[in-house]
């Protein structure tokens, strides 16, 4: 796919329903010969729309006016290119904990949580956030309220008890470093103000007790980290929106490894990257992932944790 086609595809398939600002901008970038030529000076994986848009926002550039975006990106290209090479797309969405909670609450407690592709580790605090499933509320404290429209199963009755938490990521981010939090903020699409507020609130929860995040690869380094989980707790290895970034043969190696570990495995991934037999049709035409426990698909989920539909 050419770089121009990639931006058109992103505008039509990803941004169209969620971000009119990004849809308009990416359509303009696809026709911007000067910007396309600059983008082609960086390696192909570094030309992705989410990365460029996040980098320009990180550097303080405008995204709501394509002409102003062009002028900023061209004028600041050395800084833009340096960030394209240094940064990766690694949105950290605490809202996905609302998808994990119905499963975590059913497992033998206490839990030892190991998140692969943890980013800044905001997914490691499902016991410290508050939740609203319709009119059912759970949790107390100052953390963000994670709202999830849940259908097909009762909402969880309790929070999990977590005695150990660890994360693994190729590029772990530090919630106590303002520059890393600024990068997470820049990755959130312009119209998603509620997600920006949620990021700040979840980052404050994590920064008060920073997670143990390990730099490493999910296939190469998982067994060593899993072996550190304390005896007497149920090991839960989980990941959300990670495997689309992992080449197919590495994904297969990872899933073989995780199945062989003691404990449980929770995946929240696109059905294009973990395939399941006989899935029901998704609730509507919007993007959905599949929540699965130990390889068994349980529910359709919306990407940021805003809704889940349990299979009958
Ligand atoms: C889109 S982010 C999702 C982060 C987090 N799971 C969440 O739900 O917010 C994907 C994360 O996976 C990490 N990642 C990608 N490939 C990886 C690999 N082979 N091993 C470990 N982490 C990886 C990226 O660095 C990034 O932080």
pLDDT digits (tens, 9 = 90+) for 182-229: 999 999 999 999 999 999 999 999 999 999 999 999 999 999 999 999
User: What mean pLDDT comes out for the span 106-132?
Assistant: 98
Structure tokens at 239: 């990941």
Phi first, then psi: give them for residue 103, nearest 5 degrees. Answer: -85, -45
For residue 287, what pLDDT band results from cuts at 50, 70 and 90? confident
CA dihedral 3, 7, 13, 19 (to 10 degrees): 160
Ligand 1 center from residue 246 Cα (angstroms): 9
Alpha-carbon distance of 136 to 159, in angstroms, equals: 13
Structure confidence at residue 261 (pLDDT): 97
Instruction: Answer positive or negative: Cα dihedral of 183, 178, 62, 306.
Output: positive
| Cα of 142 vs its chain's centroid, Å | 22
* 89 half-sphere exposure, CB direction, 13 A CA radius: 18
User: What mean pLDDT comes out for the span 290-303?
Assistant: 97
Ligand 1 center from residue 183 Cα (angstroms): 14
Ligand 1 center from residue 74 Cα (angstroms): 30
Question: Before 110, cis peptide (omega within 30)?
Answer: yes
Is 289 touching ligand 1 by the criterion CB < 6 Å? no
- The crossing angle, in degrees rounded to 10, of helices 193-207 and 178-187 is 150
Structure confidence at residue 246 (pLDDT): 96
Ligand 1 center from residue 302 Cα (angstroms): 18
Structure tokens at 237: 């290895």
Is 306 touching ligand 1 by the criterion CB < 6 Å? no
Helices assigned H by DSSP within 114-192:
178-187
Quick one: the chain helix, strand, coil %, rounded to 5?
40, 20, 40
Ligand 1 center from residue 50 Cα (angstroms): 15
Residue nearest to atom 26 of ligand 1 (CA): 90
Is 215 touching ligand 1 by the criterion CB < 6 Å? no
Give the number of the atom of ligand 1 that is nearest the alpha carbon of residue 93.
9
pLDDT at 17 over 90: no
Is 117 touching ligand 1 by the criterion CB < 6 Å? yes
Is 245 touching ligand 1 by the criterion CB < 6 Å? yes
């Amino acid at each position: 796919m050419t770089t121009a086609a990639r931006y058109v595809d992103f505008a039509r398939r990803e941004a169209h329903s969620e971000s009119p600002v990004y849809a308009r901008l990416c359509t303009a970038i696809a026709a911007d010969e000067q910007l396309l030529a600059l983008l082609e000076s960086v390696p192909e994986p570094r030309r992705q729309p989410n990365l460029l848009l996040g980098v320009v926002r990180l550097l303080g550039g405008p995204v709501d006016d394509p002409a102003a975006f062009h002028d900023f990106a061209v004028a600041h290209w050395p800084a833009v290119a340096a960030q394209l090479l240094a940064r990766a797309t690694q949105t950290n969405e605490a809202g996905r904990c609302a998808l994990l909670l119905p499963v975590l609450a059913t497992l033998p407690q206490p839990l030892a949580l190991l998140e692969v592709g943890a980013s800044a580790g905001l997914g490691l605090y499902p016991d410290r956030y508050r939740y609203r499933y319709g009119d059912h509320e759970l949790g107390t404290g100052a953390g963000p309220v994670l709202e999830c429209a849940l259908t097909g199963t009762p909402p969880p009755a309790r929070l999990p008890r977590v005695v150990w938490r660890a994360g693994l990521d190729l590029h772990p981010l530090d919630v106590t470093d303002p520059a890393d939090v600024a990068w997470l903020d820049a990755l959130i699409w312009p119209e998603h103000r509620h997600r920006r507020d949620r990021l700040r609130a979840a980052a404050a929860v994590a920064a008060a007790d920073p997670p143990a995040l390990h730099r490493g690869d999910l296939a190469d380094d998982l067994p060593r980290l899993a072996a550190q989980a304390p005896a007497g707790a149920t090991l839960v290895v989980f990941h959300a929106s990670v495997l689309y970034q992992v080449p197919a043969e590495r994904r297969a190696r990872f899933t073989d490894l995780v199945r062989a570990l003691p404990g449980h495995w929770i995946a929240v991934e696109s059905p294009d990257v973990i395939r399941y037999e006989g899935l029901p049709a998704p609730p509507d035409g919007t993007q959905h992932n599949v929540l699965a426990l130990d390889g068994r698909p349980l529910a359709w989920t919306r990407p940021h944790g805003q809704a889940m539909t349990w299979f009958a």
